[in-house]
Amino acid sequence: MARTTKGAERSVSRLCSVGRPGDGEAPSLPPVPEALRRWTEESGAAGADPGPAGVTVAVVGLGYVGLPTALGLWEAGATVLGIDTSEQRLCDIRAGAVDLLPAQHAALVCAESSGAFSLTSDAGALGRADAVVVCVPTPVTERQEPDTRTLRAACASLVDRAVPGQLIVLTSTSHVGTTRELLIDPLAARGLVAEENVLVAFAPERIDPGNERHVPGNTPRVVGGAGPLSSRAAARLLRPTASRVHLVDGPETAEMAKLWENVFRAVNIALANELSDACLHFGLSPLTVLEAAATKPYGFMPFHPGPGAGGHCIPCDPYYLLGGLRSGPVAAPVVDAAMAALRERPAEVVRRAAGLLRDGGTGPAGARVLVLGVAYKEGVSDVRESPALRILELLAAQGAEVFYSDPHVPSLAVDGRVLQSVPDPSTLPCDLAVLHTAHPGWDLSWLAAVDLVLDTRFGRGSLSPAAAR
């Protein structure tokens, strides 16, 4: 039975079913081994799909993907074991000091007092779970190479503790073949064969932090199982946490679909940045031109220019495609070029900032520069891969005295030193203000009185196009 939370009630959609038109075909099922029957039996007598109700689910990794995933499963009726190796992260979750939407914060409070939601750093809890959902990060190294150490460690720990009858779902973005390499094959080597003793699937995460329009329950989910039993089981587990489930023919297809999604975004963001520079060259407002182009009702999707790409997806995921292609005959020059352009974008922002300062009669050396918003996107405190970090570093390297203000980020490490957020940026005298992230509800009207403002977002949602310099 699905749970609801006081002040944050939501209806759990159970309308999408395996084999719904356009959502992938329902797999024809072979005879079901006894150990797997709990996941593959038909709906109950009342016709309602119980989903994860009454099931114990371990969620491995409680970051920006894992924690909302755990809450969604709890709301759908599961008993949740949240597992994370970081005791600090577990303390932050217990204290509510985490990036969540208001409704998710309310759900967290209710979940923690329910007796059906527990947190631990003990991987031994994996053996007590009916299902395990892996949500660990997959970053890149400083050389832009896939860093799968955390993922490999999590999967190895899971393989060692897996038990017959378990459903294992990997959600972390990675290269094509990851699910087979890190789960299906090692489990088989232990005598736990997918579709016979265990069920294994890949269902890539689709979490948009800070965006109430794109909560998991409003978002379709792709599922690719090791076989038809695994696909059906993973769909049953995840269906109440998504708007619908789209089945594909295997984990590799689902892995590639996730890479395609984020490579598409990366290439188009890089293109939007390039076209915005062309607009500036012609003396045009990029935002005004983009709004005009976006009136076309077909064959066009607006991507907005900005200071670069931050967070855990766009700056990282395409390298998991490129890394998988390095040793083969297929190249991806467009993707390579787009990622190089995104890496260079913060330096372009700094070049524009230096130009504005020189035009104003000074230069970057000795100038007081205030960067507004350092989180990688609006409404969150996450600074991973944020272009603001590189912008501050490059400005300081040119001799500028740098400051920042962000209501979500109280302190920030930049090039070996810690900066503190300016509580009231309107009171700080500066030679140049650089608008990087405009958080919802953040009053920036005072910027109209600042002589030099560089809006890296070209007026989107904060300043008029005319004010974006």
| Beta strands across the sheet bearing 432-435 | 401-405, 368-372, 432-435, 453-455
What is d(CA 422, CA 468) in angstroms, rounded to the nearest whole number?
A: 22
Q: How far apart are CA 224 and CA 171, in angstroms?
A: 11
Rg (the chain; Cα; Å):
24
User: 151: how many CB neighbours lie within 10 A of its CB?
Assistant: 22
Determine the 3-state secondary structure of 106 from DSSP. helix
Residues 6+ apart with CB under 8 A from 241: 12, 69, 72, 73, 75, 76, 216, 217, 221
Distances in Å between the alpha carbon of 346 and those of 307, 372, 379? 6, 14, 21
DSSP 314-352: TTTHHHHHHHHHTTSS---HHHHHHHHHHHHHHHHHHHH
133 closest CA partner among 68, 77, 181, 192: 68
Q: How far is CA 458 from CA 49, 321, 440, in A?
A: 48, 31, 17
279 is catalytic: no
Cα 248 versus chain centre, distance? 22
Measuring CA to CA, which residue among 173, 449, 202, 411 is closest to residue 314?
Answer: 173
- Only one residue has tokens 């949240």, namely 82
d(CA 5, CA 139): 33
394 class by beta-carbon count within 10 Å (0-12 exposed, 13-18 middle, 19+ buried):
buried
Between CA 236 and CA 234 the distance in angstroms is 5
309: tokens are 């790409």
Let me know if 248 is exposed, middle or buried by CB neighbors in 10 A (0-12, 13-18, 19+).
buried
Catalytic one of 110, 135, 155, 313: 313
Active site residues: 313
